[in-house]
Chains A and B, each alone.
Chain A
Amino acid sequence: GESVGLHLPTLSVQEGDNSIINCAYSNSASDYFIWYKQESGKGPQFIIDIRSNMDKRQGQRVTVLLNKTVKHLSLQIAATQPGDSAVYFCAESTGGGNKLTFGTGTQLKVEL
């Protein structure tokens, strides 16, 4: 199984700044990627997704960038707010199915 450390990587940002959360994925055949936000004690909440035939997709205050050459995904959050504080996971899917593989997660802390 996946080996994951006991401490999530943490990103601390000032309120109002932009945040960039990075994710390295493992399967070059993955064709769909999603970013989820998880608040403490809750299930994951969908933020934004991107298919492998795209390299950028924008939502409301969020942008996802995909670099298939280096198997890297990033989530950019503009004007970060205290309510954005949570753990963020990237997930990948392969071959048109729903089965998701989650990344290790990043704890985002927004400082006032």
Chain B
Amino acid sequence: GAVVSQHPSRVICKSGTSVKIECRSLDFQATTMFWYRQFPKQSLMLMATSNEGSKATYEQGVEKDKFLINHASLTLSTLTVTSAHPEDSSFYICSASPSGGGNYEQYFGPGTRLTVT
């Protein structure tokens, strides 16, 4: 149980285009989902907290107009990287907290490798 999927697993896009990444909780409902970014050989950096039915909360330094987050249902959150540039190339990972679960429960997806050329 408690499986989180991401789609796509890898994506290559051209500079200036937008890319959408999906995060799904497959066997549980998630009121809260989180989006992280990870550069090679570095740690996970929290980008934003996504709450179902409300606006996402972005961490300091993360541009909300560039990284659009939508959490329209209890099993799906999407991250759209708008007008992507090579410096946006990274590993994007989502996690999901079960609705009604313990305060600290969080399950991670397998990640999406974005390469902007």
With a 10 A CB-CB cut-off, give which of A42, A93, A103 has the most chain B CB atoms: A42
B45 at the interface (CB under 8 A from A): yes
A41 at the interface (CB under 8 A from B): yes
**Among candidates A34, A96, A105, residue contacting B43 with C-beta atoms closer than 8 Å:** A105
Give the residues in chain B near A103, CB-CB below 8 Å: 43
Give the residues in chain A near B41, CB-CB below 8 Å: 6-8
Q: How far is the CB of A18 from chain B (nearest CB, A)?
A: 25
Rounded to whole angstroms, the CA-CA distance of A44 and B111 in the bound complex is 9
A99 at the interface (CB under 8 A from B): yes
Are B103 and A97 in contact, CB atoms less than 8 angstroms apart? yes
Are B103 and A96 in contact, CB atoms less than 8 angstroms apart? yes
B100 at the interface (CB under 8 A from A): no
Tally chain B residues at the interface, Cβ within 8 Å: 28
**Among candidates A41, A45, A89, A98, residue contacting B113 with C-beta atoms closer than 8 Å:** A41
Give the residues in chain A near B32, CB-CB below 8 Å: 98
Query: Which B residues between 79 and 117 are near A, CB-CB below 8 angstroms?
Result: 91, 93, 95, 97, 103-111, 113
Interface mask (B13-44 → A, CB under 8 Å = 1, otherwise 0): 00000000000000000001010000011111
Are A44 and B113 in contact, CB atoms less than 8 angstroms apart? no
Are A93 and B104 in contact, CB atoms less than 8 angstroms apart? yes
Residue in chain B with minimal CB distance to A105: B43
Rounded to whole angstroms, the CA-CA distance of A89 and B105 in the bound complex is 17
Are B113 and A99 in contact, CB atoms less than 8 angstroms apart? no
A100 at the interface (CB under 8 A from B): yes
Rounded to whole angstroms, the CA-CA distance of A102 and B43 in the bound complex is 7
Using known A-B contacts A49-B104, A98-B32, A99-B34, determine if residue A42 contacts B46 with beta carbons closer than 8 Å.
no
| B contact residues vs A (CB 8 Å cutoff) | 4, 6, 32, 34, 40-46, 49, 60-61, 91, 93, 95, 97, 103-111, 113
| A contact residues vs B (CB 8 Å cutoff) | 1-2, 4, 6-8, 32, 34, 36, 41-46, 49, 89, 93, 96-105
